[in-house]
Amino acid sequence: MAIKASLLTLGALMLAPTVVSARPEKEAHGSVAGLAGYLLQTDGGEGVFGFGLRGGYTLRQNIYVGGTFMYHLDDVERFYYLGGEGGYDFQLEPVTIRPYVGAGIGHASITLSGTTREIGGTIYGFWFGGTVLFNLNEQWFIGGDFKFPILSFEGADAALLPTLSVTGGLNF
C-alpha cells in the first residue's frame, strides 16, 4: 500500500511542471527552515517522530541547492541522516512547489533491554520528495514536506521510509 502511494505521489510531482509555471527569475536568495514530522512505517509497525533542519540557496533560475538533517527517535530506535539536496521551485502565488532529490549518510542504533546495540551503524541513502510552501510574505513561509528516503543499513536490506513533515522558515 505504501509503495503504491509512493508511486502516485512521485507521478504527481513529475506532472507538477506541466500544471504550475516556473516563477519569473528573481533575485537569488537563501532559506532556512525547521522540520517536524513522522516517519511512516511500511511494515505495519508504529511510526517514528522526527525533527530536523533544512537550509539552502535558490538561484535566479529557480534551481534550489541545499541540505537537510533529520533525526528520528522513539523509545527503541534512534537514527539520523544528513545530506545534500537539489530541486526546482515552481510558483503558483503565493505557493511554492519544490520537487527535490537528495543523498547522504547517517547513523542508526537500537536499544534492547536497557543496552544500546548498533544495528547497521552507518546509513547510506538517497531520497526524493516534494515540499509545498505557503509564502506568508517575502521572508516567512510555512508548509508541508513529503519525503521518500531509501536508506541502506550495513548488513541489512535497504528500507523505504516515507516521512511526512510540517515546515516553516525564513527566506533571506
* Residuewise pLDDT in 10s, the chain (172 residues): 445 545 445 555 555 454 444 445 568 999 999 999 999 876 666 788 999 999 999 999 999 999 999 999 887 778 899 999 999 999 898 999 999 999 999 988 776 656 665 565 888 999 999 999 999 999 999 999 999 999 887 767 788 889 999 999 999 9
Q: What is the dihedral of CA 77, 79, 54, 35, to 10 degrees?
A: 0
Rounded (5°) CA angle 53-58-62: 130
pLDDT of residue 118: 57
Using an 8 Å Cβ cutoff, are 89 and 58 in contact? yes
pLDDT of residue 28: 94
Tell me the pTM. Answer: 0.80
Q: Which domains does the chain have, with CATH numbers?
A: 2-16+28-171 (2.40.160.20)
Could you give the C-alpha distances from 119 to 39, 75, 92, 103, 112, in angstroms and in order?
18, 15, 43, 20, 11
pLDDT of residue 40: 86
Cα–Cα distance for residue pair 48/77, rounded to 1 Å = 8
pLDDT of residue 60: 94
Rounded (5°) CA angle 64-36-20: 40
pLDDT of residue 23: 46
Q: What is the pLDDT of residues 112-153, one digit of tens each?
A: 656 665 565 888 999 999 999 999 999 999 999 999 999 887
Q: Residue 89 gets which letter from DSSP?
A: -
**How many of the other CB atoms lie within 10 Å of CB of 81?**
25
Cross-strand pairs, 56? 31, 66
